Amino acid sequence: MSIKAVSYCRYSTDNQTENSIMYQMSAAEEYCKKHGMVLIDVYSDEAKTGTNTNREGLQRLIKDCDTSKFDAIIIYDQSRLSRNIADWFELRQLFSSKGKQLYSCNEQLSSDYLNSNAFLSEGIHALFAQNHVIETRRKTLDGVKSKAKQAGFCGGTPPLGYDIVNGEYVINEKEAPAIRKMFEMYALGKSYDDIMQVLYREGYRSKRGNKISSNAIYYLLRNERYVGTYYWNKYQYTVMRKRITRKENPEIVRIENAIPPIIDKETWTMVQEQLSKNKGASTRTKRQYLLSGLIKCGYCGGTYTGFASKNRRSGEETIYYTCSTKERLKTCKAKNVRGDEIESFVYYTLKNRIFNQDLAEQVADMIISQSKDIVTFDAASVKREISKKKQAINNLFQAIENGLNAEITTDRINTLQDEIKALELSLEQNAKQNDTVIDREKLIQSLLEDAKKIDLDFEHRRAIIRKYVVKIEITDDTVNLHCIGDSGTTGGATQI
């Protein structure tokens, strides 16, 4: 009975084409005829590197090794299967454990691991395959380094404010004002969030047309290109397990006054001094989220918390809110909500319903009416809830002291602190409502003043939202916004 065999073929992009696949297939067919095998299928990957195993054809082959479809695997040579020596021997072990024999058209591969000559030969070929990759990378790097020494563009996406024309940096006059604005604002002491809000309001966007995030601003303010300094190969990256670390590269190419500057040196120096000062003032700054503690899950009643997700390719950061029950216990089906969408929805709802100058008197009358009809406030219950949350925070700090990883508990502590602030604010507002007779004219004036404050900066906006928003309830794509001064205290079900 003939042995059923399949072949695996691959070509990369270094002087190889799809014709290489046909040649490898032909060689596999000849090998099967010569050794009494029947070639029943071909697995292939086109224009794929052999330095990793993340290849569609290879992954299908690995999956099919669990079936009785074939008994043997034919490759043209070892480099077609892998150019990574560790991956090569791992795949060899995998195929062997599945009862599949691996054959090469051009090398002798032995299934007998006691055959020292065969093992040595196989190891040498694997080393040569790996060395080919290293040499190719070295030659490529030498070419790029030579170009860098002439201040040439070496690939990637140019930073905001620049375009590449004929391999050289030129200022993009539509984007450059955003860079000047962020440097000027930071030099005046403005925060990343303040700068982010102003840039967004004035219509500036990233290269991809997205909102310029605070995380992007962090890196842009440190980019030496904006003061005319060209650099390449600035950092060395080291991968340790799943963690990536970086450090300054001693072989960096840095050339001053090599590209047109967007920022003058005086402003650059002021900003760098301010960055250094702020870094030293606090080793860790708690990130603030606009709606922390206000959003409730329509499924489980849990509080939504904010988190930032960074795109690995672009480096851009996106804010999301997620149900805390889902995050901690994985028992809730609530979807995550994009921060920019829910925050914009709340902001514009307040602007249109509460801070609409034409509706100021109507809103004031509604607030006065609501204050008279308020259901008895259970202050004792709120105080007990605050006490429970404070105890929970103490327990978490105790757990950290006992050796629990602080990163695991930080988000939960932040959430509890936000919830305590919201409860304390409700106590404060209730006390004021009980002790104060509302002056209608002053209330109208306060509404008009708050309408201006909400646009000042992040901190003012956060305070104003907490002053007027009672609760935000989310179920799938439907949002119920409850705020004082709105008809029926609810904004109704709205999709975002």
pLDDT digits (tens, 9 = 90+) for 48-94: 888 888 899 999 999 999 999 999 999 999 999 999 998 999 999 99
Range 241-258 burial, b when 16+ CB lie within 10 A, else e: eeeeeeeeeeeebeeeeb
Q: pLDDT value at position 375? A: 44
Domain assignment of residue 399, yes or no? yes
DSSP 203-268: T---TTSS---HHHHHHHTT-GGGGT-EEE--EEEEEETTEEEEEE-TT-EEETT-S--SS-HHHH
CATH number of the domain to which 22 belongs: 3.40.50.1390
Instruction: Report the domain count for the chain.
Output: 3
Q: Is the pLDDT score of 489 beyond 60?
A: no
More confident residue, 238 or 292: 292
More confident residue, 292 or 87: 87
Same domain for 205 and 71, yes or no, is no
Q: pLDDT value at position 285? A: 46
CA distance 304 to 178: 33
Give the residue numbers spanning the domain of 457: 295-495
Axis-axis angle for helices 192-201, 176-187 (nearest 10)? 140
Same domain for 333 and 422, yes or no, is yes
pLDDT above 70 as % of the chain: 84
Query: What 8-state DSSP symbol labels residue 303?
Result: B
CATH number of the domain to which 243 belongs: 3.90.1750.20
Q: Is the pLDDT score of 43 beyond 90?
A: yes
Cβ pair 326, 318 in contact under 8 A: no
Same domain for 236 and 133, yes or no, is no
Nearest to 228 by CA among 197, 260, 203, 205: 260
Q: Is the pLDDT score of 495 beyond 60?
A: no
- Indicate the range of 9-18, 226-235, 303-312, 412-421 predicted with least confidence: 9-18
Q: pLDDT value at position 283? A: 42
Token pair 């932040």 is at which residue?
414
Among 281, 306, 328, give the residue marking a domain's end. Answer: 281
Q: Is the pLDDT score of 202 beyond 90?
A: yes
CA distance 43 to 61: 7
Query: What 8-state DSSP symbol labels residue 184?
Result: H
Same domain for 239 and 136, yes or no, is no
Cβ pair 101, 110 in contact under 8 A: no
The model's pLDDT over 93-151, given as tens digits with 9 standing for 90+, comes to 999 999 999 999 999 887 766 677 877 888 888 888 888 888 887 887 788 888 888 88
Q: pLDDT value at position 281? A: 52
Q: List the beta bridge partners of residue 318.
A: 309
Mean pLDDT of 299-316: 84
Nearest to 181 by CA among 220, 207, 219: 220
Q: pLDDT value at position 397? A: 65
| Residue 201, C-beta contacts closer than 8 angstroms, at least 6 positions apart | none
Domain assignment of residue 146, yes or no? no
More confident residue, 360 or 345: 345
Range 390-420 burial, b when 16+ CB lie within 10 A, else e: eeebeebeeebeeeeeeeebebbbbbbbbbb
Same domain for 111 and 169, yes or no, is no
Domain assignment of residue 125, yes or no? yes
The model's pLDDT over 204-254, given as tens digits with 9 standing for 90+, comes to 999 989 889 888 898 899 999 999 999 888 877 564 444 446 678 888 889
pTM of the model: 0.43
User: 180: pLDDT confidence band, cut at 50, 70 and 90?
Assistant: very high
The model's pLDDT over 343-352, given as tens digits with 9 standing for 90+, comes to 999 988 888 8
The whole-chain average pLDDT of the chain stands at 82
Same domain for 359 and 410, yes or no, is yes
Domain assignment of residue 147, yes or no? no
Same domain for 234 and 310, yes or no, is no
Q: pLDDT value at position 59? A: 94
